[in-house]
Amino acid sequence: MNLAQLEVALAAYIDNEIVPAMVDASPLKKIGIAAVIAQAKSSGFIDRYFKQMSANPVFNALGIISADGKIGDVNAICDSLKTALKSTGDIIIPFIDIKINADDIDVLRKYLTETGRPSRLSSSVIGQEGIGNG
């Protein structure tokens, strides 16, 4: 997987999983998130961020991303993320109040490894299982 493929997969994941899960978010918040995502895509922010990561010898040594911008073993990276989330607990993304747990990594893995759009998760609220909002 290269950086362009990663950017497409992450954008699809955000568009198809994160934003729709914000069922209780105000319209203004949804517009704000959509604007931030669009700006990140069009400005090349994601590409620049991952290029900086590819220059970092720690990420290279861990096999996450190589110096030439190739993403490491996606399944191994997702397995590590799941293990970390199971031991440290869910991640709550500030401002949008989305909770991501270990099970959500499997959905992200589908976006990273499969062609086409995987089926969407059902949304839930913080304090319950899965991606959700509060």
Phi, psi of 72, deg, nearest 5:
-70, -160
Contact 65, 57 (CB under 8 A): no
Model pTM score:
0.69
Q: What angle do CA 89, 115, 96 make, to 5 degrees?
A: 35
Which pLDDT tens digit goes with each residue over 117-126?
Answer: 454 443 333 3
- The pLDDT value recorded for residue 69 is 78
> Would you place residue 131 in the very low, low, confident or very high pLDDT band (cuts 50, 70, 90)?
low
- Residue pLDDT, tens place only, 106-119: 999 999 988 544 54
**pLDDT attached to residue 54:** 81
CA distance 26 to 3: 32
Which residue, 73, 55, 101, is CA-closest to 1? 73
38-42, 48-52, 78-82, 84-88: range with lowest mean pLDDT: 38-42
